Amino acid sequence: MVVPPPTMGPIPAMPVDWIAPLMTDIPPQTPPAHTPQSIETGIAKAALRSELRAARREHVAALDDATRGLLFMRPPAPLAALVPQGAIVGLYHATAHEAPAHSYARHWQELGHTVALPRLSDTPNEDVAEPVVEFAEWTDMFEESDLEPGPFKMRQPKADAAPAEPTVLFIPLLGFTAAGDRLGQGGGHYDRWLADHPDTVRIGMAWDVQLRDELPTEPHDQRLHAIVTPTRFYEV
Ligand SMILES: Nc1nc2c(c(=O)[nH]1)N(C=O)[C@@H](CNc1ccc(C(=O)N[C@@H](CCC(=O)O)C(=O)O)cc1)CN2
Ligand SMILES: Nc1ncnc2c1ncn2[C@@H]1O[C@H](COP(=O)(O)OP(=O)(O)OP(=O)(O)O)[C@@H](O)[C@H]1O
């Protein structure tokens, strides 16, 4: 006996009047201000960070002390041109393998600029459990009496140092491209600060070995206007 295939009747109409009231209960979606990191990009950035940290460490270890002391002594002329009179210059208190920033700090101070360093507060950001970065004045570049130990084994301005918002910011890098893309420590500290201060002139300081043809980037990544190395000045 041949069983006829079941016939399908017309698809019943959606009970619109039943579903519509539910739909109106859903609040309108606003796009997130910051897109979460994709797993692939996060893994790629983490791998690059360890590769670049090793490259930086080996490069610095291969320099003799006398040479190291002579590098990053004075900004090259095209870089100095990016720092207008009256600029508040943000620098960093370099760790052993970062591009040294001490001579630049003295230089800008001698020219009459206010010099500021990052200071990490314990106040968590409203949506991320990370310390917030602010900048505060650094005046004693010789004795460092106005600095104290902060998170990540970094020295930072004491709590009573006056806040100072850089108009020109020098940023330590793990990696950079000639197009101004940068890779930092991964805390998002600079990315967040720069997103809130879009008019700041951003200058990366790095060793030549930190140059890459390309770096993974995300929409939140803040690009640099220029990068200075011991042998090159890249203006984007
Ligand atoms: N000198 C300096 N100051 C700085 C930074 C920096 O990169 N360098 N920052 C940049 O955002 C901010 C501090 N944020 C940081 C976030 C993460 C790590 C970090 O993961 N450090 C590694 C050691 C890295 C290394 O060996 O180079 C660690 O503690 O394991 C450091 C600083 C502000 N001040
Ligand atoms: N504007 C922002 N608001 C909230 N979170 C952010 C913002 N910018 C970056 N982040 C977060 O910070 C974390 C680190 O970002 P990323 O990996 O790009 O750091 P990075 O390139 O090493 O830069 P940084 O020097 O700023 O740490 C990521 O989880 C990222 O989602």
| pLDDT tens for each residue of 81-135 | 999 999 999 999 999 999 999 999 999 999 999 999 999 987 555 665 678 899 9
Minimal-distance CA residue to ligand 1 atom 19:
185
Torsion of CA 176, 121, 153, 58, to 10 degrees: 0
Q: Which of 131, 64, 142 is nearest to 103 (CA)?
A: 142
Q: Which ligand is nearest to the CA of 221?
A: 2
Q: Which ligand is nearest to the CA of 152?
A: 1
Of residues 212 and 15, more confidence is placed in 212
8 Å CB contact between 171 and 182: yes
**pLDDT at 69 exceeding the cut of 60:** yes
The pick from 95, 133, 152 for probing ligand 1's pocket by mutation, whose C-beta has the most ligand atoms within 8 angstroms, reads 152
Ligand 1 pocket, residue 132 CB under 6 Å: no
Q: Which amino acid is at 176?
A: F
d(CA 109, CA 203): 17
The pick from 185, 189, 192, 220 for probing ligand 1's pocket by mutation, whose C-beta has the most ligand atoms within 8 angstroms, reads 185
8 Å CB contact between 135 and 116: yes
Q: 192-214 burial, b for 16+ CB within 10 Å, e for fewer?
A: bbbeebeebbbbbbbbeebbbee
Of residues 162 and 16, more confidence is placed in 162
Minimal-distance CA residue to ligand 1 atom 30:
152
Of residues 38 and 189, more confidence is placed in 189
Residue range 37-72+86-235 in CATH 3.30.1360.200: no
ipTM of the complex: 0.96
pTM of this structure: 0.87
Ligand 2 pocket, residue 195 CB under 6 Å: yes
**pLDDT at 15 exceeding the cut of 80:** no
The closest-lying atom of ligand 2 relative to the alpha carbon of residue 127 is: 4
Task: Give the model confidence (pLDDT) of 147-195 as tens digits.
Answer: 999 999 999 999 999 999 999 999 999 999 999 999 999 999 999 999 9
Ligand 1 pocket, residue 42 CB under 6 Å: no
What is residue 163's predicted lDDT score, i.e. its pLDDT?
98
Ligand 2 pocket, residue 113 CB under 6 Å: no
Q: Which of 101, 47, 49, 59 is nearest to 79 (CA)?
A: 101
Ligand 2 pocket, residue 194 CB under 6 Å: no
d(CA 22, CA 1): 49
What mean pLDDT is reported for the chain? 89
**pLDDT at 143 exceeding the cut of 90:** yes
Q: Which ligand is nearest to the CA of 117?
A: 1
Range from 20-24, 52-56, 97-101, 195-199 carrying the lowest mean pLDDT: 20-24
